[in-house]
Amino acid sequence: MPSQQNITESIRSYALNELGFDLLGFTPAERLTEEGVRLEEWLARGYHGSMKWLEQNPERRINPKEIVPSARSVIVVAKNYYTPHQHSDEPDHVKISRYAWGRDYHRVLPIKLKKLHQYIQSFAPDAENRWYVDAGPVMEKVWAVRAGLGWLGKHTNVITRTHGSWVFLGVMITSLKLDYTDPIPDFCGSCTRCIDACPTDAITQPYLVDANKCISYVTIEQHPKEQLDPEFAEKFDRWIFGCDICQDVCPWNKFQQPTDEPDFEPRPGRIDLTFDRILAMSDEEFEEQFRGSPIMRTKREGLRRNALSTYSTL
């Protein structure tokens, strides 16, 4: 079996050069003690809204050995999804979060991580690996910070020095002992642009977000049958699925660069949709328009509710 250093560099080279990830880091598979306390406090405040699954499996969420008992390392990857397109400024056009313009990243990154797993097994067949892309009891952003991919911004998104915050994250817990990368400093400094720009005051203080006030949470996670408060919806400024305001104003996103992943390029009709088009869609048209997109998550009923609530306040 190759040396620890050679294994680490082989994984790095394969992930970056063959699989096309933009960033990669390694960190020990340790229990997240401090981060676990902060999670408990956040949940106790009720800042997770109706996302009750975040209350489940607390020990698994903070201790990777509860998932892979032989875990020794956590591999964290990031993929840039920025494309240089912009929303229409026309008042009859809706806004959809940039991450949902192309193919659902839940369908893209797991394929790459499975290939990374197969590559590792080609020279370490006894290695135990378990990977996640925002779909399990894993705190991806915490591991990304620990692995040195970036730091946690005041808007609670991970900010990288090379791609800003326009990145998707993936995590692999492995039994391999690897050479670890160091965390990097927090470069937010005294900047509060994300806090100042949030129209609903969802960032209650630096590094703390109340999901109940977040446009992204309300337009994606809130049950489609639950109506939106008109006084709240009037602050949405045409956002009907997600929100990029805190990222759009972040100075670090001046380092944004176009992704090389074709799957993240906007699909037809994703950045030039009108309120009328959304409100007139049948179930079949919704399915055809958004097949393979994260927008399927909110269903036609939820997207229509968001559009109707926002449009009525313009």
Mean pLDDT, all residues of the chain: 95
Strand runs labelled E in 107-253: 129-132, 151-152, 158-159, 167-174, 203-205, 208-209, 239-241
Tell me, what's the pLDDT at 2?
A: 73
Confidence of residue 1 (pLDDT cuts 50, 70, 90): low
Residue 311: pLDDT band (50, 70, 90) is confident
The predicted pLDDT at position 5 comes to: 81
Report the pLDDT averaged over residues 59-69. Answer: 96
Q: What is the pLDDT of residues 110-144, one digit of tens each?
A: 999 999 999 999 999 999 999 999 988 999 999 99
Across the range 252-276, mean pLDDT stands at 94
Give the Cα separation of 144 and 10 in Å (integer): 20
Task: Decide if 166 contacts 137 (C-beta within 8 A).
Answer: no
When pLDDT is cut at 50, 70 and 90, the band that residue 224 belongs to is confident
State the pLDDT at residue 313.
65
At 2-35, the pLDDT tens digits run 788 899 999 999 999 999 999 999 999 999 999 9
The SS3 call for residue 254 is: helix
Q: What is the pLDDT of residue 314?
A: 62
The model's pLDDT over 26-53, given as tens digits with 9 standing for 90+, comes to 999 999 999 999 999 999 999 999 999 9
List the strands of the sheet with 129-132, edge to edge: 23-28, 73-80, 167-174, 129-132
Positive or negative: CA dihedral 168, 156, 188, 250? positive
Q: Which amino acid is at 308?
A: L
Take residue 135 and report the two structure tokens written for it: 């779909």
Looking at residue 92, what is its pLDDT? Answer: 94
Write down the pLDDT at residue 160: 98
pLDDT in tens, 141-180: 999 999 999 999 999 999 999 999 999 999 999 999 999 9
Please give the distance of CA 66 from its chain centroid, rounded to a whole number: 23
To the query of whether residue 134 is one of the catalytic residues in this protein, the response is: yes
Q: 183 vs 225, which has greater pLDDT?
A: 183
Measured torsion, CA atoms of residues 132, 138, 141, 142, in degrees rounded to the nearest 10? -140
| Catalytic choice (89, 92, 134, 201) | 134
